Amino acid sequence: MPEFSAPNEIRIVRLYDAPVQAVWDAWTDPAQVAQWWGPRGFTLTTHSKELRVGGNWRYTMHGPDGTDYPNTTVYHVVEPLRKLVYDHGATDDTPPLFRVTVLFDEVEGKTRMDMTMGLADAEAAAQTRQFIKHANGDSTWDRLAEYLGKRLADEDKFVINRSFEAPLETVFDMWTRPEHLARWLPPTGMEMRFLRTDIRTGGASLYCMSNAAITMYGRAHYEQIRRPELLVYTQQFCDENENVSRHPMAPVWPETMRTTVQFAAETPQRTRVTVTWEVAGKATAAELAAFLEHRASMTQGWSGSFDKLDAALGA
């Protein structure tokens, strides 16, 4: 059975709806990389950048708590539009943490980014993987997708990815069978039950989420389902009689949201899920601002649900 990565490696694969030139530029132009590099809430200052073999990129990442993280990157391979190899995590006083290889490939007008972080051994890889999860480091590559969508198509979206150690068909079922959805989709601390379900293209569902303090109703309309690769649906808050309402704790939240879920097999036993969330239909400036301002909390909410999905898949 093929392995996704070697024991001493961390591998990340993403497919971006953008040409290779645009993705390459986003990686290599300091003005563009400042728009997305780092976990959500981080900002970036580039001090100097020499994109050549032996060249350095000196920058500082600024954490949301005010902590600065200086970094000196050394490039070992620079093949325009194709490949980057560099050392990551060094400072003037400390050696690099790992070596990164990034491959950029055109796939039907889109760009496949295949990145591998090579560490000293499996233990170092495991420790780094936990650090990345704790720091929400994978959101860096979600921010890149959001940046490209805004730059190329003026689309404001929220993107989040997660890979699950389960076959493609199994993961797809967890998203399309109500008895599974109710186990993992609701926010932590809430329970979910479906009052009506018809999960098919053109179908709809009505559900209820509740805890000791609040009860919320919602409805979903399934715009497109293509097993086992794609699920697209819109959602609205409503009352028990399906009269459209607003989020009970966020009155300026947009009325209708569209969720696009893409499923891709990374190995026969490993599935990557990409969730894209966007406003559907018209929205006021205040509603759009509320959506954009809550990307960090959306990441936290989806991550909590994904953790429960991980547990459900492993049960």
The pTM of the full predicted model, rounded to 2 decimals, is 0.94
Contacts (Cβ under 8 Å, ≥6 apart) of 237: 216, 217, 218, 244, 245, 246, 247, 248, 253
Question: Which pLDDT does position 3 carry in this prediction?
Answer: 83
CB atoms within 10 A of CB 42: 20
**Radius of gyration of the chain measured on its C-alpha atoms:** 21
Question: Which pLDDT does position 2 carry in this prediction?
Answer: 66
- Rounded to whole angstroms, the Cα distance separating 43 from 143 reads 12
* CATH T-level assignment (fold) for domain 9-155: Alpha-D-Glucose-1,6-Bisphosphate; Chain A, domain 4 (3.30.530)
Please answer whether residues 156 and 290 qualify as being in contact, where contact means their C-beta atoms are separated by less than 8 angstroms. Answer: no
Query: For 35, left (φ over 0), alpha (ψ -120 to 50), or beta?
Result: alpha
First to last CA, the chain: 22
- Rounded to whole angstroms, the Cα distance separating 174 from 164 reads 11
Domain ranges for the chain, please list them: 9-155, 160-314
Strands, sheet with 56-62, edge to edge from the N-terminal-most edge strand = 9-16, 110-118, 98-107, 83-90, 68-79, 56-62, 43-49
* 32 phi and psi angles, rounded to 5 deg: -80, -40
3-state secondary structure of 243: coil
Report strand pairing: 270-279 vs 157-164.
antiparallel
Question: Which pLDDT does position 143 carry in this prediction?
Answer: 98
Regions in the chain scoring below 70 on pLDDT = 1-2
In eight-state DSSP terms, residue 250 is B
9-155 and 160-314 agree in CATH topology: yes
Q: Which amino acid is present at 266?
A: E
Question: Which pLDDT does position 273 carry in this prediction?
Answer: 98
Question: Which pLDDT does position 315 carry in this prediction?
Answer: 73
Count of residues making up the chain: 315
Question: Which pLDDT does position 152 carry in this prediction?
Answer: 97
Please answer whether residues 34 and 43 qualify as being in contact, where contact means their C-beta atoms are separated by less than 8 angstroms. Answer: yes
* Alpha-helical runs (H) found in 193-294: 285-293
Superfamily of domain 160-314: START domain (3.30.530.20)
- Rounded to whole angstroms, the Cα distance separating 155 from 29 reads 21
Question: Which pLDDT does position 23 carry in this prediction?
Answer: 98
